Amino acid sequence: MTFSSDAILAYVERHTTPSSVELEELERETVRTLEDPGMLSGPVVGRLLEFLVYALEARSVLEIGTFSGYAALTMAGGLPPDGRIVTLELDEAHAELARRSIATSPHADRIEVVLGPALESLEHLPGPFDFVFIDADKQRYLDYYEAVLPKLSERGLIAVDNTLWSGRVADETDKEASTEVMRAFNDRVRSDPRVRCVILSVRDGVTLIRRA
Ligand SMILES: C[S@@+](CC[C@H](N)C(=O)[O-])C[C@H]1O[C@@H](n2cnc3c(N)ncnc32)[C@H](O)[C@@H]1O
């Protein structure tokens, strides 16, 4: 028996606890006002991130790639009372919408949006981070990985989005530069003796990484 991946995605979404009305409104505003709204991680990845933050009791969370703030706001729902999120964003319009959404949320005092190139911002963030979500420009994924790994707390976790790249990483005939970049990332992490990893085939692929 075969299923279309769209049908499975829709089923998974229908059987996952839905987002809050505020997050649904943020998703609609993102679609209305920002280019490339498909960058928003959405309700299933968002719920997964919230679960991970909750299960880890993560007090210090870092996100690389804020966009409209959807994932940051979702993760905030899993934080313990003294938990905080720092989220890094290059684009002013994205950061502006994220800051506005965060300001009117119950998590305003727990999420900080830092504007600028993430690798530069990271130089000023010593960590340790209990949970890191990497979801910015794919060609820098390896740089982000190398920058955050030493700043991970002892039982910390890194989650990396889009690592299946619409399934293209598994298509050997696909030689597109963006596909090769994601393949190189997946290969490097898999062969890195410092870590253990698993790719979850959730939406576009989410890789979880921890210290070996
Ligand atoms: C896929 S979106 C993030 C989606 C967000 N994590 C969510 O789930 O709602 C990627 C974001 O990374 C930002 N970005 C791209 N290059 C960046 C860089 N060098 N430094 C910081 N942010 C960057 C983009 O402007 C975009 O907003």
**Single pTM value for the model:** 0.97
Task: Quote the pLDDT of residue 3.
Answer: 60
- Whether the pLDDT of residue 2 is over 90: the answer is no
User: 53 CB less than 6 Å from ligand 1?
Assistant: no
Closest Cα to atom 18 of ligand 1:
117
CATH of domain 5-211: 3.40.50.150
| 134 Cα to the center of ligand 1, angstroms | 9
Over the stretch 86-110, which tens digit does the pLDDT of each residue have? Answer: 999 999 999 999 999 999 999 999 9
| 64 Cα to the center of ligand 1, angstroms | 7
Task: Quote the pLDDT of residue 29.
Answer: 96
CB contact burial 118-146 (16+ within 10 A = b; e otherwise): bbebbeebeeebbbbbbbbebebbeebbe
| 46 Cα to the center of ligand 1, angstroms | 15
4: three-class secondary structure by DSSP: coil
* % of the chain at pLDDT higher than 70: 98
Would you list the domain boundaries of the chain? 5-211
User: 71 CB less than 6 Å from ligand 1?
Assistant: yes
Q: What confidence tier does 6 reach under pLDDT thresholds 50, 70, 90? A: confident
